[in-house]
Chain A
Amino acid sequence: MLTTIQIVLLIFVIFAISRVILRLKEKVLSTQMAFFWVLIWLAALVGILLPKTTTKIASFFGVGRGVDVIVYISLALLFYLVFRIYVMIEDLRHEITNLIRELALQNPSQKTPRLLSSSRRRGSKK
């Protein structure tokens, strides 16, 4: 018999996988990225439906409980993803800067409407 938490998590995972597939169809996600996310959610599915497997993994890694090993792996993964996103945002920032530089060099002295309301002040000097 499935417990309530298993049912709730199961529904959530199915929802998450459906989102991945939808985004893949829209080509927002690349095949590789979609594969990665489906893999993650399938792993979650195994953990939810067959909780015993997590205990096996835990004992393999020398961790006490199955839940603990999931928390450890998830945390490591999350930190890595946050880092990837940080790098990506930095890259985007550079691209925006390059665009703005090109615009500035092409229309010297021309008054251009402000595209972004840059509410955050960046130190423009010491």
Chain B
Amino acid sequence: MKLVIVVPAFNESSVIYKVLSLLPKSLNRISTIETVVVDDGSSDKTSQEAKKAGAKVLRHISNRGVGAATKTGIEYAKIKEADVVVTFDADGQHDPEDIPKLLKPIISRTADVVIGSRFKKKQKMPLDRFFLNWFANLITFILFGVVSTDSQSGLRAFSKKAINLINFSGERMDFSSEILLEAKKHKLKTHEVPIKAIYTSYSRAKGQKNINSISILVRFIIKFLR
């Protein structure tokens, strides 16, 4: 099986080399692993750092948002005829050790979409993030009728069937919930596995501003009205 790891990145030059170098080089039942970094119009040396780490780099010439970058990576995976796609955040908030756990249900063909959930097991998390994520889960449930313990997770795995069926248009964080809706629409088997969340001062400062969630919500609702 061929695995493509998609890493959307925007201005992550200080951490991306380390994050990429910690990604697995070989895995059980996986014949080849290719890492593709989608540089979402960074103004720093994200592309160079990623290349130095040996990753394939695709560059957006202007910043289009994490959803758009993820989609570009998935399109690349389709071209490369990947059997499994894993999305992985570039800021170092995920633990590479979780990747095999995500792949397991796909390799055994028990699921097509595997969500790494930061809330399945008890772990420390900043309180504002905790509430924000649960709010997002609630909105995802109200708007889409999809129950998820972590609708915004960046660590996910998709089978070939899933990447061919799932089509999303959300360009910012709204894409995460949209994928869940697409999975539901196409009756794909979805599975959640607990993952570790590493909150560093870096990922906190770099990450999504809490206030952004409001504009994402508005965008969501407008999408329904159009």
**Measuring CB to CB, which residues of chain A are less than 8 angstroms from any residue of chain B?**
83, 86-87, 90, 93-94, 96-97, 100-101, 103-105, 107-116, 118, 120-126
Contacts and interface: CB of A to CB of B under 8 A. Distances in A.
Interface in B13-44: 38, 40-41, 43
Interface stretch (B98-106, B156-164, B168-176, B186-194): B168-176
Interface stretch (B52-60, B108-116, B140-148, B177-185): B52-60
A87 B225 CA distance: 10
B173 A100 contact: no
Given A104-B72, A105-B72, A105-B79, A126 B209 contact: no
A87 B59 CA distance: 27
28 contacts: A96-B62, A100-B61, A100-B62, A101-B68, A103-B61, A105-B72, A107-B59, A109-B47, A109-B57, A109-B59, A110-B59, A112-B61, A114-B62, A115-B62, A123-B66, A123-B172, A123-B173, A123-B208, A123-B212, A124-B63, A125-B66, A125-B89, A125-B91, A125-B93, A125-B208, A126-B89, A126-B152, A126-B154
Contacts of B65: 122-124
B120 interface: no
A61 to B, nearest CB: 26
A91 to B, nearest CB: 9
A123 B166 CA distance: 22
B10 interface: yes
Contacts of A121: 10, 63
Nearest to A109: B57
A105 B56 CA distance: 11
- Residue of A112, A114, A115 contacting most chain B CB atoms (<10 Å): A114
Contacts of B47: 109, 111
Interface of B: 8-11, 38, 40-41, 43, 47, 51, 56-66, 68-69, 71-72, 75-76, 79, 89-91, 93, 129, 152, 154, 169, 171-173, 203, 206-209, 212, 222, 225-226
Nearest to A99: B61
Nearest to B63: A118
B40 A124 contact: yes
Contacts of B63: 118, 120-122, 124
A104 B171 contact: no
Contacts of B91: 125
- Which of A96, A114, A124 has the most chain B CB atoms closer than 10 A to its own CB? A124
Contacts of A103: 60-61
Nearest to A120: B63
Given A116-B62, A122-B65, 19 more contacts: A87-B226, A97-B68, A101-B64, A104-B38, A104-B72, A105-B76, A109-B51, A109-B56, A114-B61, A115-B62, A121-B10, A122-B64, A122-B172, A123-B212, A124-B69, A125-B66, A125-B90, A125-B203, A126-B207
Contacts of B51: 109
Contacts of B72: 101, 104-105
